[in-house]
Structure 1
Amino acid sequence: MFSVRALVFAIVVVMAFVLVYPTLNSYVRQQAQLADLNAQVEAAKARNDDLQADVDRWSDPAYVVAQARERLSFVLPGETPYRVVDPETVPDAPVTADGPSSVIDSESTKPWYTSVWESVAVAGKLPVDATSTDPATDPAKAPPTKDGKTAADDATDAPTTDAATPPTDG
């Protein structure tokens, strides 16, 4: 059935497969990696072209003016700014005796940098807390004096007078 030639041929084919498979497998993986890297390079070039187009747009003065108007709500001298309000997002204006009041309050018509500055000013102030006390007004929180007593100890040692009864001379 099997001849010696067929057996030798099968052994040679198996040996060739064992020797060539790792190299061929590496070649196929490297080709796939090369294709992925080429795709990444093309995507990076496309992104670079888009970014360069954005940079080129910023060199156009008309584009800069349009962006300042859109992003920062700038207006040119002599223009009247209008703010269009979506009626679905703005609550109904309360009706007063004179008629409906303004939907937009004075706070919302301020420029953005005014509200930022106000928040910086508010952040710089110390909070007024009802639970914190000043050592000058609370003798229990005052530091001890030279003789080791606190202002609270001095207050308990001092004679007390009732505000309802005036002190007597005598």
Structure 2
Amino acid sequence: MIALVLSALALSYAYPVRTYLEQRAEIDALRDSQEAQSDRIDALETERARWDDPEYVKTQARDRLLLVEPGSELIIIIDDPEGAAADAGIEPEPPPPAPWYDDLWDTFNEADQIGQ
């Protein structure tokens, strides 16, 4: 009889304990999310504070918009080895051959096109 009463009590407490644990997990997840949002807000406020500095604004205008102050000369370096080689009169190296599995896949695609 005591075992029956204890099992009934265990079953009656199982659902509230499970609900409590689920709610604690949800609270922890929301707390973590809130901390992440707080960190993001701090980072955005720091970024906004940077824009109050005139030197930072000039640097961003130069980097992002390619704007320079009057009288300055803008030089843009393009990292293009093939273009530089062509300007120097050197022919660029041919690309390496495609791997065998690309050739195999191309033959499957060609065969599929023939059947249609």
Give ranges in structure 2 of 5+ residues lacking alignment: 90-116
Give the counterpart letter for 2:87 in structure 1.
A
Q: Percent identity?
A: 30
- Displacement over 3 Å in runs of 4+: none
Count of residue pairs brought into register by the alignment? 88
Equivalent residues in 2 for 1:94-133, closer than 5 Å? none
Give the superposition deviation at 1:9.
1.8
Give the counterpart letter for 1:93 in structure 2.
D
In structure 2, C-alpha distance between the alignment counterparts of 1:17 and 1:11, rounded to whole Å: 10
Give ranges in structure 1 of 5+ residues lacking alignment: 1-7, 96-170
Kindly provide the CA deviation profile for residues 33-62 of structure 1, in whole angstroms up to 9, marking residues without a partner as x: 011000100000011111111111111111
Residue in structure 1 matched with residue 18 of structure 2 by the alignment: 25
RMSD of equivalent CA atoms: 1.7
Point out which structure has higher relative CO (alpha carbons under 8 A, 6+ apart). 2
Asked which structure has the greater CA Rg, the reply is 1
Residue in structure 2 matched with residue 15 of structure 1 by the alignment: 8
Give the counterpart letter for 2:59 in structure 1.
A
- The structure 1 residue matched to 2:48, chosen from 43, 55, 61, is 55
Kindly provide the CA deviation profile for residues 87-112 of structure 1, in whole angstroms up to 9, marking residues without a partner as x: 326362386xxxxxxxxxxxxxxxxx
- The structure 2 residue matched to 1:93, chosen from 87, 95, 108, is 87
In structure 2, C-alpha distance between the alignment counterparts of 1:42 and 1:11, rounded to whole Å: 47
Q: Secondary structure, in 3 states, of the residue corresponding to 2:81?
A: coil
With the length of structure 2 as denominator, give the TM-score of the two structures.
0.69
